[in-house]
Amino acid sequence: MEMKYYRDVLLPQVESGDIIYYELQKPYELQPKFIYNDKKVQPIKYVADFFIRYSDGKEEVIDIKGMADNVANLKKKMFWYAFPNINYYWICFSKTDGGWCNYEYIKKQRVIRKKKKENQ
């Protein structure tokens, strides 16, 4: 899915000049290493699928998601806290919902379809 997003969404915007810089698999440190009771605790790291800088100066981080697990949800909150000035989005692809959409939107649409199906 990441390759599909790269090919279908990111590259055309690079070619048009809307995106002036991007990185794939960009690492971020969400919490630094530290020592607790004489024990070394490793840092908490996160690797973003895409870091994008647009021609207007806006920056965003995009992560391609199918289904989010508890670790992903926790790291999302940590990212928001550690990098409040960077827009961070989960994107997924759904033919039913019109292609590339915000993960939260698709999640809500799935719930609506499930309830509608149960009520039939």
pLDDT digits (tens, 9 = 90+) for 49-90: 999 999 999 999 999 988 888 999 999 999 999 999 899 999
Question: Structure pTM?
Answer: 0.82
Q: Where are the beta strands (DSSP E) in the chain?
A: 19-31, 34-36, 39-41, 44-54, 59-64, 87-94, 99-102
Bridge partner residues of 61 (DSSP): 51, 88
Cβ atoms 101, 72 nearer than 8 A: no
**Confidence label for 2 from pLDDT (cuts 50, 70 and 90):** very high
Q: Above pLDDT 90, what percent of the chain? A: 72
- Partnered with residue 60 across adjacent β-strands are 52, 87
Q: Domain of 104?
A: 2-118
Tokens of 49: 């699928």
The tally of domains found in the chain comes to 1
pLDDT over threshold 90, residue 98: no
